[in-house]
Amino acid sequence: MDYQMKRMKRKTVGIYITKEGSVEVRAPHSAPKAEIDRFVREKEAWILSHQAKALERKQMRDSYKIQPGGSVLFLGREYPSERSQNRAVSFNATGFLLPETSSEELRAALADFYRRAAKEYLPKAVERFAPLIGKSPKQVRITSAKTRWGSCSANGGLNFSWRLMFAPPEEIDYVAVHELAHLIELNHSPRFWAIVEAILPDYRARRQALAELQEILLRQGW
């Protein structure tokens, strides 16, 4: 099996699959090549499984094209889009106007739109539920996190990913309540979940829907 080896200051041999699907082995400077080869052979099934997943994700990223005329997901709804001579993405009641540019630049323009929308939408979502929790954050920050919808900092601030703008309002509400509850309980104890459930009795369904959306977004390179 082909792999790229990196000698470094470490105690054990580790195998990593890159985003492109190649195999990288990181080994101690003193590890014999024969031992490394044997370790790689023993892990061949694991390597092939994870390599296949990485290549599948790469294919999805490469094939996913956002084009004017296609649909755009925003707040849980798919809107039609049209071509525009403007460089920025704009949105109205009928749909999106997308700049006629490369796929990469269009994706960046859409990310900027979602980020601006998040700065306006998410603080208001927090404000709606803060009185029910009985706590208000010191600040609300918008981040670019890919695998965390939100987080609560030790100083009482709340952070939310702009990628929440893909989700429907009811799922965004769940994240807002979840993070507000952390202002009372900085953990996921039964008391924490009781706070969330008292406000959103169906929070489990919303959480599951968000997990499924996150998987789709990651597959599409968002």
pLDDT of residue 218: 85
Residue type, 66: I
pLDDT of residue 5: 94
Share of the chain above pLDDT 70, in %: 94
- Phi, psi for residue 65 in degrees, rounded to 5: -120, 125
- Alpha carbons within 13 A on the beta-carbon side of 145: 14
pTM of the model: 0.69
Which domains are seen in the chain, by residue range?
4-63 (no CATH), 114-219 (3.30.2010.10)
The helix/strand/coil state of 143 is strand
Arithmetic mean of pLDDT, 72-82: 90
Arithmetic mean of pLDDT, 61-70: 57
For 18-31, the pLDDT digits (tens) are 877 899 999 999 99
d(CA 161, CA 147): 9
The helix/strand/coil state of 140 is strand
pLDDT at residue 69 tops 70 = no
d(CA 150, CA 57): 24
